[in-house]
Amino acid sequence: MDSRPTFSCFLSLGVLYIMALASARGERGGRVLFQEDGVPTASSYLKYKGTLPTLTAFTLCFAVRLTQFREQNPILSYATEDDPDELFVSLNPESLTMRCCGGNLSIEVRVTYNFPRTGHNAGCLAVDLGTANWTMYWDKSSFNGSELTRPTQLVDSVRVRGGGQLFLGQDQDILGGGFRQSESLRGSLADFRLYDAVLPFDDMHSFSSCYETDDSLVPLVHFTDIEGDFDVSEGTVDAPNQWECNATYSFEIIFPVRLTYKEAKNLCKISGGDVTVPGSEEENSALVREAAVYASECGASHHSDTLWLSASPESQNFSNYVEASGKEGLTCTTLNTAGEEADVSSSKWMRKSCKEKHCVPCHYESLFYTQLRLRGLCQHSLLDKNYILVGNGSEIKFVGRYYSEIKLYAPATTEYDDHGYWMITSFLQASLRATLYRTSPSHFPFGINTWIIENDNCGQREAQLMLTLCWEKEYMTCRNGLCVPIGWRCDKELDCEDGSDEENCDNIIVPKTYNPNQFPPREPFVPMKVDIFIEILSIGEINIAGFKFNCEIEVTLTWEDKRLGFQNLQEYPWKNTVGYTVWQPELEYLSDSKTTSSVGVKNQAIHVVNVNSTGQKDEEQLYEDVIFTGQIKLQRKQKLTLTTDCKMRLFAFPFDVQTCQMILMVMGFPSDVVELSPVDEGLLFSGDPLLLQYSVQSTSLNEMSWDNRSGVSVELIFANLSTYFISSTYVPTFILLIVGYLTFFFPLDDFNDRIMVCLTALLVEAAFFTQTSEDIPSTSDLKLVDIWFVFCIIALFVIMLALVVINRIL
């Protein structure tokens, strides 16, 4: 018997085993690229030539780099005759989904795929169907738990049934087919491994971190020999170790347009980068080689200044500057291709005026910083709204998140097309496009431009769209394309160089049907509350004779109008000024006797108060206005001068205490429709309590209702400053009374002196009475000061009468 066939068979099996073991020992497998041209298709996939056994446990490891997203991004689709989702794994923007076992088990792990990437994300998912537990390691994070959907069968019967068909890059809706272009993979899949056991966590961690694994398990399916193990349909296969794992590297893009240095710096900034500066001779040489592609646009020839650099004349990272005496004003740097054209390493830097024009090399730390947002499209537009800027040789383009792409096309033969045009195309629908005709060679699609749109769902023929780097909710776009914090929008301070952050700053969104004379909607049978707060700034005068007083007050009313929308609100209400005529409550000012007070409005303003709301950008709007929803109110502050009557009771004058009232009533609405509601205590007195004749002893505010209207009553208590009257009236008159009494102690035979002194005191007392009566308010009733004068006069008269009687008797 010839033993050579047997030996050859064993040798082949040994080689295959060694290859599989090598893969298991950590050698990275190959890679396959799907849909490199961007066109979604249902015919790009890998079909495994073998069959899978029944699995009660498995581990799936793979590295992936998505170029664009689809509705589903299937990594693996394994189907049997009974179930097209016998095992299905898909990577979505914010989750990884796994379904298996006839619908008995499903897992959805909340992970974020960092799109875009320059390298591959690597991860492993291990599932033990016997215990219904799973473990996952992805992008330096670990996850574990039990199934999200409980099995409908016993745990022991849950398994992945063998004998089916395995596809990578497509989702099987039926066994071996039912593919859809919207559920396909665009990108590259590398080092795919499927084990029939749970891989140790350390090995999962090593694989995800792109380290060599050291496990003894041999994968059932792997990428050691892709073309040998799979049927490749519309995919490009790379050899093992020809792809980068978890790599994020910087790159340069040269814009072939001549600009001043300031314009060049702005162009780089609005696209997510900065002007390039080489850090070594190698980087300098690489930049020169890349600039050679743009020789015609940038003048890259012998002894020519080609590109701007961001280096200053003080930069000396290596011997880069041409030795030459500097001139005043030469503060910027260019790359000069001095020397032989072939000797790129000899290219030097030159000091130049910043007003010269040269081409623009921009440096980007990673693709992450080139993410742009296209604003102004309607919600149902088929065009992508998220893009990344990429450069490939002499081509600059913007790749959409799902199906779109923005590219520059050469001039056509139309009257609008002297400098070419930018076009947004869709890989999903060939007739869908948007065109921007360039007005100059330096016209890039950044910022606001007018696009001609064809065959989109929005029904727009021509629309203004904004392509902006300021895609995060914390930032807004200036007209020149630069980003500033969104909190600076409409904050009454100029932050953009062009002042565009303070344009179109209406805080209120007013519907077309809004009527400022119409009462705002309210809950049925519930009065609308209008919060009121009153600050008394000063008491001007208390007119005792006229029974009036005047004051200056600030009345703050706060109410809610649910008909209005709000945008771009600031933390401080004074920055949210309302420039539109809105409905506002009106007040009537009355005295304590319900007479109308005299009111003078000094100034007023209406602001928006963000009580408790959150803001979000409306991506359909061209400008990055933040729309607020929640509890938002309008607030009116009025500064008034008020003169009002007061019922003064002067019996105790000048030791009197007066109580006056100001009444504020709602005009035009009964109390069951509008209700005034004090905020906190509702009242603050911030003026000087010491007045000319009185002092403010206390203030208070009370709710009230009158004439079926809601209102508040402000009560002020004034205490008379009686010290003046004591010193100027009571003390002198009391002294005169004592003088009259002392005449009883004069000698009895000196009648004339005694009677003259008493009579003089009486006359002076009467003169005091007359003068004081002219200075104090006249009333029909006696006041305390009147009683005192009458008492003093009568007392002196009695003394004088007593003196006469005594003299007569003696």
pLDDT per residue as tens digits for the range 379-413: 899 999 999 998 876 688 999 999 999 999 988 76
Across 5-9, 657-661, 673-677, least confident range? 5-9
Give the Å distances, CA to CA, from 770 to 544, 655, 658, 732.
18, 20, 25, 14
Q: Which fold has domain 22-238?
A: Jelly Rolls (2.60.120)
Residues 671-692 as b/e (b if ≥16 CB within 10 A, e otherwise) read: beebbbbeeeebbebebeeebe
What pLDDT does 300 receive? 54
- CATH number, domain 251-364: 3.10.100.10
Q: Are 153 and 105 in contact (CB under 8 A)?
A: no
Q: Is the pTM of this model over 0.85?
A: no
Please classify residue 581 by burial: count the beta carbons closer than 10 Å to its beta carbon, then call 0-12 exposed, 13-18 middle and 19+ buried.
exposed
Angle formed at CA 115 by CA 113 and CA 118, multiple of 5 degrees:
110
Element counts in the chain: helices (H) and strands (E)? 10, 42
Strand partners, 134: 127, 145
Q: Which residues pair with 675 in a beta bridge?
A: 529
pLDDT in tens, 126-135: 999 888 889 9
Closest to 388 in 3D by CA, of 620, 63, 69, 138: 69
Domain-wise residue ranges, the chain: 22-238, 251-364, 368-469, 528-720, 724-809
What fold characterizes domain 528-720? Answer: Acetylcholine Binding Protein; Chain: A, (2.70.170)
pLDDT for the residue 340: 43
What would the pLDDT profile of 160-208 be if each residue is shown by its tens digit? 999 999 999 999 999 999 999 999 999 999 999 999 999 988 889 888 8
Both tokens assigned to 478: 């200036």
* The pLDDT value given to residue 341: 47
Residue 95 pLDDT > 80: yes
Question: 22-238 with 251-364: one CATH topology?
Answer: no
**How confident is the model at residue 547, as a pLDDT?**
84
Averaged pLDDT, 320-344: 61
- Whether the per-residue pLDDT at 2 is higher than 60: the answer is no
* Predicted pLDDT of residue 574: 84
Q: By the 8 A CB rule, do 44 and 184 touch? A: yes
The percent of residues above 70 in pLDDT, for the chain, comes to 88
User: Where does the pLDDT of residue 317 fall: very low under 50, low under 70, confident under 90, or very high at 90 and above?
Assistant: low
The pLDDT value given to residue 12: 44
Who has greater pLDDT, 684 or 315?
684
Instruction: Give the pLDDT band of residue 530 (cuts 50, 70, 90).
Output: very high
Out of 236-245, 443-452, 604-613, which region has the weakest mean confidence (pLDDT)? 236-245
- Number of Cβ within 10 Å of residue 517's Cβ equals 6
Helix axes 751-775, 784-809, angle to 10 degrees: 170
The least confident of 205-219, 270-284, 486-500, 770-784 is 770-784
- Indicate the burial class of 778 (C-beta count within 10 angstroms; 0-12, 13-18, 19 or more): exposed
Between CA 144 and CA 256 the distance in angstroms is 51
Q: Return the pLDDT at 634.
A: 93
Among 713, 58, 38, 121, residue whose Cα is nearest residue 400: 38
Confidence grade of residue 4 (pLDDT, cut at 50, 70, 90):
very low
The residue written with tokens 């049907």 in the block is: 513
- Token output for 129: 């169907």
The whole-chain average pLDDT of the chain stands at 84
Separation of alpha carbons 286 and 191, rounded Å: 31
Least confident of 137-141, 213-217, 804-808: 213-217
17, pLDDT greater than 70: no
Does position 21 have pLDDT exceeding 50, yes or no?
Answer: no
CA dist 355 and 335 (Å) reads 15
Mapping DSSP onto H, E and C, the string for 659-720 reads: EEEEEEEECCCCCCCEEEEEEEEEEEECCCCECCCEEEEEEEEEEEEECCEEEEEEEEEEEE
Q: Name the pLDDT band for 319 (thresholds 50, 70, 90).
A: low
| Domain spanning 724-809: CATH superfamily | Neurotransmitter-gated ion-channel transmembrane domain (1.20.58.390)
Inter-residue contact 488 to 481 (CB < 8 Å) = no
Distance CA 756, CA 455 (A): 119
Q: Would the pLDDT of 726 be above 90?
A: no
